[in-house]
């Protein structure tokens, strides 16, 4: 079955639960699902009810779609994303982005947990991603290209929307949250990195390293969507003084920073994006 047929079947299934249209889609990262509880939900659709989606197996990921309103703004939030390390292809893990696009979403807000490679970053900082390094040695767009979904050779000169980056940084500054912009690099995982790898990542120009987001952003760029991605630094990755890292520690720090990310995204959507018909975010 062609990808576009899978997308249509899956979108029809979601429409069976929720007949409204959302322009904003949200993907919640590790330990960052609290935002979903702020949504005045009309329905929660478990991933296994949506055809062609894999099942969510990752730590701290629920695997459901929450459809409803944040303030006055209709949104769809994916509470639990899919990762390459779960054994799924990049095409499978990015299917939710395609489905959201089919449902009318044109603005995507992503969150994730990451290791801080830049020496200026501390645990609990928020990095507003302004560019990325795809170090997964794979690409979700490999295979026949369906022109209805996007161009064969998509532009990637600015996959992260400048207006949204500026707005997010401005809100963080007003709130007194430690936030800056920078480059996110993605490995497949699931292991955390060696000291030599963290050193290499710094040389390559990465500010943070994680195991998600980049495939989703590539597909969003292919589909012509506007993207904002926020990364919570959960561990400091300085090769010369490196401690050990565990999934439960990453989850704990992500959860303790979560109220700031939730507040930031909520403010962005309910005050800035809600007023967008006035054209204040390019």
Question: What residue ranges bind ligand HPA (CB under 6 A)?
Answer: 113-115, 192-193, 209-211, 234-235, 237, 245, 250
| HSE-up of residue 165 (Cα within 13 Å, Cβ side) | 16
Token representation of residue 243: 């401690």
Q: How far is the CB of 103 from ligand HPA (least distance, A)?
A: 29
**Contact call for residues 265 and 230 (beta carbons, < 8 A):** yes
CA distance 98 to 51: 13
Query: Toward ligand HPA, which CB reaches closer, 115 or 215?
Result: 115
Query: Toward ligand HPA, which CB reaches closer, 105 or 209?
Result: 209
Query: Toward ligand HPA, which CB reaches closer, 74 or 210?
Result: 210
Q: How far is the CB of 178 from ligand HPA (least distance, A)?
A: 17
Residue with nearest beta carbon to ligand HPA: 115
Residue with tokens 């490196």: 242
What distance lies between CA 86 and its chain's CA centroid? 17
CA distances from 166 to 2, 173, 252 (A): 38, 10, 28
Q: Helices 3-17 and 95-102 sit at what angle, rounded to 10 degrees?
A: 60
Q: How far is the CB of 233 from ligand HPA (least distance, A)?
A: 8
Query: Toward ligand HPA, which CB reaches closer, 1 or 196?
Result: 196
**Contact call for residues 233 and 121 (beta carbons, < 8 A):** yes
Q: How far is the CB of 115 from ligand HPA (least distance, A)?
A: 2
Q: How far is the CB of 275 from ligand HPA (least distance, A)?
A: 34
Can you list the alpha helix ranges (DSSP code H) found in 18-123?
34-38, 90-93, 95-102
Q: How far is the CB of 107 from ligand HPA (least distance, A)?
A: 25
Report the DSSP pairing between strands 73-79 and 64-70.
Answer: antiparallel
Query: Toward ligand HPA, which CB reaches closer, 20 or 191?
Result: 191
Query: Toward ligand HPA, which CB reaches closer, 68 or 116?
Result: 116
Where is 64: in which H helix or E strand? strand 64-70
Question: Closest by alpha carbon to 109, among 11, 41, 39?
Answer: 39
Query: Toward ligand HPA, which CB reaches closer, 73 or 110?
Result: 110
Q: How far is the CB of 252 from ligand HPA (least distance, A)?
A: 11
DSSP 8-state secondary structure symbol assigned to residue 74? E
């Amino acid at each position: 079955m062609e990808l576009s047929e899978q997308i249509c079947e899956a979108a029809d299934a979601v429409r069976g639960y929720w007949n409204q249209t959302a322009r904003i889609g949200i993907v919640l990262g590790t330990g960052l699902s609290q935002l979903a509880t702020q949504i005045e939900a009309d329905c929660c659709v478990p991933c296994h009810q949506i055809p062609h989606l894999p099942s969510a197996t990752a730590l701290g990921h629920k695997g459901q779609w929450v459809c409803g309103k944040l303030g006055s703004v209709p949104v769809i939030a994916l509470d639990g994303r899919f990762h390459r390390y779960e054994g799924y292809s990049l095409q499978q893990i990015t299917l939710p982005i395609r489905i959201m696009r089919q449902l009318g979403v044109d603005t995507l807000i992503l969150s994730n947990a990451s290791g801080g490679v830049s020496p200026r970053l501390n645990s609990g900082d928020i990095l507003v991603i302004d560019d990325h390094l795809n170090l997964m040695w794979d690409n979700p767009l490999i295979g026949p290209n369906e022109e209805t979904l996007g161009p064969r050779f998509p532009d990637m000169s600015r996959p992260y929307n400048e207006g949204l980056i500026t707005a997010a940084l401005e809100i963080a500054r007003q709130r007194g949250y430690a936030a800056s912009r920078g480059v996110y690099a993605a490995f497949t995982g699931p292991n955390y990195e060696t000291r030599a790898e963290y050193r290499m990542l710094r040389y390559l120009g990465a500010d943070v390293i994680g195991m998600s987001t980049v495939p989703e952003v590539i597909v969003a760029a292919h589909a012509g969507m506007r993207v904002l991605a926020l990364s919570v630094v959960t561990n400091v990755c300085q090769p010369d003084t490196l401690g050990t890292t565990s999934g439960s520690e990453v989850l704990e720090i992500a959860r303790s920073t979560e109220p700031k990310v939730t507040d930031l995204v909520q403010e962005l959507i309910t005050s800035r994006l809600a007023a967008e018909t006035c054209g204040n975010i390019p």
